[in-house]
Structure 1
């Protein structure tokens, strides 16, 4: 009989055993990424993150797992359930703590139910429900599973959807001009003007992978990250040691785009590379040159995908401004198991109504794409 264990650290799992459960195409579920967050000061209990990973063992062989956390807030999740917490409070009930299956600070679709077969996935979900009840938690959540995994959840796990903006190469774009050739005149002209503006300032751009990065470049990228968080009044969770760890342990999956002007680095964008996808994560700048943000965060990434043969670029959550630059609306998923039966029934209706509104919104967006032949 399989043995269920909830673990307080991924240090308790040998990296090869964990990484054997996925195909290696999504960097965010790699042992190096997840355990690096724990080891390098990115997950703090006072910020609401306590590792509580769901694992299934056949004797001493790991057969299934979900990266999981006990949460006493909803910070860093990107699936917004603050209204649910408020509803619980109005009824004198505690919504927190809850259990979350996902990747901290990363609104990125990817494998969540890491398992060798479907029975192991179902056993994991049952174990998560039982652990939620055992600990007296309000709920369990799995954020940003793949569409295939989403279909594997039983009906008791309430489905939610949201919209992100993703760039996808249909297979025939070979360079940026080929990409722009499918835009209507107005949007094509706007992008060419944006790119020309930043080049006229004298700014140049470099792509640097983790194994190519000097410590000074890693420090510069981390400084840009800190500045962006300060500018928006948010608390940065990542550490310089974590970035150094990623550059060492995932050397070709760390991709940074640096802008230089008058001999110094003035902006940077940090991405991770998967099997066929580039994931944009953080950016920052020390100067405010015209067009710098769009060039560093979006156009350099599209150029990279076209050069490297990557077919998808996910630049992060939210941002309707991405639509005009060729990033199209894409539905993303989450699943939610609510322990309280009355709340589960009420939230089921709420989720159904939300889904109708989200699908209507996504359909409206498709009528405003920059492409001549619109979806």
Structure 2
């Protein structure tokens, strides 16, 4: 296998790659499931690296010319067969990544360097952990090495400042570190299903004070004056997307100034991703007033977008966090990933976890400075996770409930 000749290439559009070839590397478990695996529904581990999701971003103009995310999909072939691929982008800014390097860019440019464009191996606008080095299972080792070496060579050949691989798996972070990339740690909040029979069984594991608080929040949210519906597949209608686009624009304008996704993305999502999504809407007299969009993985529910046109107490928590827990329990999913940041999630049963990224910087002096910073940052993240975990909402073993 070590003597196998691997050819590396770059294509600027997924239209040049057959969906079956890409997905054979991105989600081989989906094909195995469709043939009768552990979860025989053909669902990928996560939908974000599938051909259909990345193609929806591309077709909708959410990535491509004028967005600062220029596709440079990386392919590795052996004897003409695609054995590995990666979602790679040339970036002209640092927006939509959720692993922040703005200060690096400012320092680099103050020192006279040119930080942009840079290379980003990631799923745009998606802070969800998943494989970034996508390979056929039988070519995992050689494929991962080829993708890493290929991305680094592209950066060097084009005199780019840096390469960043964000929200990769822990195993990929270890693999990249062995090849000389700098590992970085960050933190998110995830909810874990311990085999709960229902939401009340989950509540029973919490301290009395936290349990009562969640019940009060759910009761207050239920009194908003309407109904809450959970929609998936063909249940999601064009008018639902019209309403959700308004929610998304409102939230995007407040958070980022300009929403990352275009309106056309949601039309593309309805066409090719509807079975990967769970849309939770709050309705008043059949008029949507708030909504939360989730993506469904093989064993994980990914909370992605939230927005509203009316303000109701605790409705955000109900739609985004508690309904996600309800869904995960009902469908036997192991966890809910509720997106980036948000220490307020801790009191609602979402616990801190470490996330991973990899970084390479061309300038050796600048790279040494970043490496020192990242070492200190990793220690701080570890300490924060330990402290936050100690303040978690669950009953403490050997202690009387409050």
Q: Which residue of 2 aligns with 1:329?
A: 352
Q: Which residue of 1 aligns with 2:182?
A: 158
Q: Which residue of 1 aligns with 2:271?
A: 248
2:121 to 101, 114, 120: 101
Q: Does the residue aligned with 2:328 lie in a helix, a strand or coil? A: helix
Q: Which residue of 2 aligns with 1:82?
A: 102
| Post-superposition offset of 1:200 | 2.3
Q: Which runs of 4+ in 1 moved over 3 A?
A: none
Determine the C-alpha separation between the residues in 2 that align with 1:373 and 1:241: 48
Unaligned runs of at least 5 residues, structure 2? 28-43, 398-402
| Post-superposition offset of 1:265 | 1.5
What are the superposed Cα offsets for residues 258-291 of structure 1, whole Å, 9 maximum, x if unpaired? 1112332211101100000011111111211111
TM-score (norm 2): 0.90
CA contact (8 A) 1:65 1:124 kept: yes
Q: Which residue of 2 aligns with 1:187?
A: 210
Q: Which residue of 2 aligns with 1:167?
A: 191
Residues paired across the two proteins, number: 373
Determine the C-alpha separation between the residues in 1 that align with 2:252 and 2:144: 37
CA contact (8 A) 2:252 2:260 kept: no
1:38 partnered with 2:58: yes
Determine the C-alpha separation between the residues in 1 that align with 2:323 and 2:257: 26
CA contact (8 A) 2:236 2:274 kept: no
1:239-318 to structure 2, matched below 5 A, reads 239-318=262-341
1:224-239 to structure 2, matched below 5 A, reads 224-232=247-255, 234-239=257-262
Determine the C-alpha separation between the residues in 1 that align with 2:151 and 2:73: 10
Determine the C-alpha separation between the residues in 2 that align with 1:72 and 1:240: 22
| Post-superposition offset of 1:168 | 0.7
| Post-superposition offset of 1:155 | 4.8
Q: Which residue of 1 aligns with 2:33?
A: none
Determine the C-alpha separation between the residues in 2 that align with 1:164 and 1:201: 29
Determine the C-alpha separation between the residues in 1 that align with 2:334 and 2:318: 19
Moved more, 235-244 or 180-189: 235-244
Determine the C-alpha separation between the residues in 1 that align with 2:96 and 2:223: 38
What are the superposed Cα offsets for residues 290-345 of structure 1, whole Å, 9 maximum, x if unpaired? 11111111111111111111111011100000000000000000001111222222
Unaligned runs of at least 5 residues, structure 1? none
Determine the C-alpha separation between the residues in 2 that align with 1:115 and 1:284: 36
1:113 partnered with 2:138: no
What are the superposed Cα offsets for residues 67-107 of structure 1, whole Å, 9 maximum, x if unpaired? 00001110100110111112212211111111000000001
Q: Does the residue aligned with 1:287 lie in a helix, a strand or coil? A: coil
CA contact (8 A) 1:162 1:333 kept: yes
Moved more, 175-184 or 214-223: 214-223
Determine the C-alpha separation between the residues in 1 that align with 2:303 and 2:187: 16
User: How large is the Cα RMSD of the aligned pairs?
Assistant: 1.3
